Structure 1
């Protein structure tokens, strides 16, 4: 594993470890912002209808996946899980377009864009093969294409 990957993964994971732990311990502080998003996702399987439970579940996934990413274990899967947790958090917590106060709108826009930046890092991590061949490359060489039959 390269030095850059060894350093970058814990750095990327740090926000999820901190935010996930906060969500687990203090769901009531996040509930007002999360409630509309939890209601919108109520029909999605595995999403709890109870807002504090949904917040804690999202936080637990962030702590577990963040820990795995930081340790370099199942990094592609853990990055994908973190990306999935980041979407509802960003949608619920940083709705800058709904804020009337200019200073608050600017702060929420910064947080929204920061989360998009972290999403970009997570998406790159899901594709990072650690300089090994990609799944697509490996499959292409093991499964003959229909043109060769």
Structure 2
């Protein structure tokens, strides 16, 4: 019973943020560009390396897995994929070791808590 209630709550942040990103990916792509540029040389040739494409792919993964988690279909797999996806998102988006911004620290810790919730769902 609790899992049935908890899964949509956990998925809500992924679904809503992914939908907003798909509607307007430019701000997220611009924010991610410096980090993508840093790793562009080590990515395989077949891997898309432009920020806009990667941002849209990331949003689609989050939207799809968030929807699966919400309805309880393949919840362990959806949680695993979301947890794996959350790591680079957090490392790119909330670089607390480079910034003294307390708000970034809050977002980093929030993502860490969500990561823990996803691991508990696996």
Q: TM over 0.5: same fold?
A: yes
Q: In 2, Cα distance between the equivalents of 1:125 and 1:46?
A: 32
Higher relative contact order (CA 8 A, sep 6+): 2
Partner in structure 1 of residue 23 of structure 2? 25
Q: In the TM superposition, what whole-angstrom CA distance separates every residue of 1:16-71 from its partner, at most 9, and x where no partner exists?
A: 00111122122111123211332344315764201011001000000000000010
Of 9, 12, 15, the residue aligned with 2:13 is 15
Evaluate the alpha carbon distance shift between residue 115 and residue 67 of structure 1 in structure 2; reply closer, same or farther with a 3 A threshold. Answer: same
State yes or no: 1:34 paired with 2:24. no
Query: Closer, same or farther in 2 for the Cα pair 1:72/1:45, shift >3 Å?
Result: farther
Residue 99 of structure 1, CA deviation: 2.3
Larger radius of gyration: 1
Q: Distance in 1 between the 2:77 and 2:14 partners? A: 15
Query: Matches of residues 61-80 of structure 1 in structure 2 within 5 Å?
Result: 61-80=61-80
Contact 1:86 1:115 in 2 (8 A): yes
Count of residue pairs brought into register by the alignment? 120
TM-score normalised by length of structure 2:
0.89
Could you tell me which of 102, 109, 117 is aligned with 1:113? 109
Change (3 A) 1:28 1:122: same
Q: Deviations over 1:98-149 (max 9, x none)?
A: 225xxxx1100000010011011111111xxxxxxxxxxxxxxxxxxxxxxx
CA RMSD of aligned residues (A): 1.7
What are structure 1's unaligned runs of at least 5 residues? 127-149
| Distance in 1 of aligned mates of 2:45 and 2:61 | 16
Partner residue, 1:91: 91
